[in-house]
Amino acid sequence: MPRAIYAGSFDPVTNGHLDLIRRGSRLFERLRVLVAVNSRKEPFFSGEDRVAMIRAEVGVLPNVEVDQAEGLVVDYAKREGFDTLLRGVRTTTDFNAEFQMALTNRSLSPDIETVFVMPSLEWSYVSSSLIREVVASGGDVSKYVPGSVVEALAGRR
């Protein structure tokens, strides 16, 4: 079975991300969740905090591990010996961006495949940017993120 990387900013991790991680853990022998750190962006949470939040939620999945890195995900995948990238696609807008990224990744590293997975219906509209917007407006995000993330977000209002 292939080993996959599921990369994203996860700022913050949502129940939709966690759903995809659980499902990916059944599809792949090993799944590494990679917190992509972009030094040009100002995230809500540090890379270390995002890694810790995800680890707290996926600790029961024995074949899932969490790491963080900066740079191209395909370079990381090659360096670490992974052959598949797992990507979630919620909307046609997501698909267009993900399709372009997958073709670019294939051009950069033809041996690494990209697998697209549709979200569960209940999380198909949830995104980290939506969560940050709701939190900034004082809204309740408890049904979209795990309890530990709700607590961490409380200090961000």
Any idea which residues carry the catalytic annotation? 17, 41, 90, 128
Q: Which residues contact 29 (CB under 8 A, 6 or more apart)?
A: 1, 2, 3, 63
Angle at 33 between CA 32 and CA 39, to 5 degrees: 125
Rg (CA), the chain: 15
Structure tokens at 84: 């598949």
DSSP class of 118: P
